[in-house]
Amino acid sequence: MIINKFCGDISLFDEGVRIIEEDFKIPVLGILPYTPFNFGFEDSASLMNYSQDISNSIIKVGVIAYPTMSNYNDFEPLVVDTEINLEFICSNISLDKYDLIILPGSKLVIKDLQWLKKIGLYKRIENFNKNILGICGGYEMLFASLEDKYAIENDIAGIENGFSFIDDEIVFQKEKILKKDIYDIFSCRIKAFEIHHARSLKYPLFYDSSKIKGTFLHTIFDNDNLRNKIFKQINKDYKGFDFQKLKTNIIDDFIANFKHRLDIKRIIDNIKA
């Protein structure tokens, strides 16, 4: 048995280990403390349990967490960025304190857009006079209208009005684009992927203006150059960091800590036996 996600002083469970091993005859191979990992978010519940150091943050970012928000891993680089104060917004609150609002991916874009209108966040985003970034489904919401003639994103076919920040229409097609490649967006060359039914004739990959930006691509913040470009435009004092190096260090430390607390030899010996 391995005791996982133990909160508090591990020594307080010494008697528990004795009871499990002596009374139930089950070997305890280790006790692993609850440690915020901040990577590999599986769903919205795991995403909301992130841990962030905001003591030196200089930019405040709000992510609109609509009911069917998707692609949570897009925000891993922002969670571990000490210059970013990241918050997820799931109710009708004032947006004045944020420097950037992000509309993330969505499993059901039109339904999430309707939800924004229903709770009142739509009007707040519409009147937000600072920076807005849309990713995939969030990008689609920034267009003038979204046509879903095959009822892919809603229960019935129809057209939903978007924010009209981008002068084109989104049309949902039956065939889904599934692609992983090297792309050129926002004057940066990045590795990313697409997964969407939507199409835009005028802006098939991304849109870029002084205040409004958007793209169909996921994992854009993994790229240091693109991340630096976006946030330096918001605050010239933003310094940036090497995300892949930091991610490797965090994973290595995480694994080393768990190896130290687990009886690895006993596990291997039993596997061999």
Separation CA 97–CA 249 (nearest Å): 32
Told to judge if 136 belongs to the known catalytic residues of this protein, a careful annotator would answer: yes
Q: From residue 118, how far is each of 92, 133, 134 by CA, in Å?
A: 10, 21, 20
| Residues sharing a CB contact under 8 Å with residue 22, sequence separation 6 or more, in sequence order | none
Told to judge if 218 belongs to the known catalytic residues of this protein, a careful annotator would answer: yes
**Marked catalytic residue, from 7, 196, 197, 218:** 218
Provide the pairing of β-strand 105-106 with 131-135: unpaired
Q: Are 132 and 103 in contact (CB under 8 A)?
A: yes
- Dihedrals phi, psi of 268, to nearest 5 degrees: -65, -40
Which residues sit opposite 182 in a β-bridge?
191
| Residues sharing a CB contact under 8 Å with residue 197, sequence separation 6 or more, in sequence order | 152, 153, 172, 173, 174, 175, 176, 177
Separation CA 107–CA 13 (nearest Å): 42
Catalytic residues: 136, 218
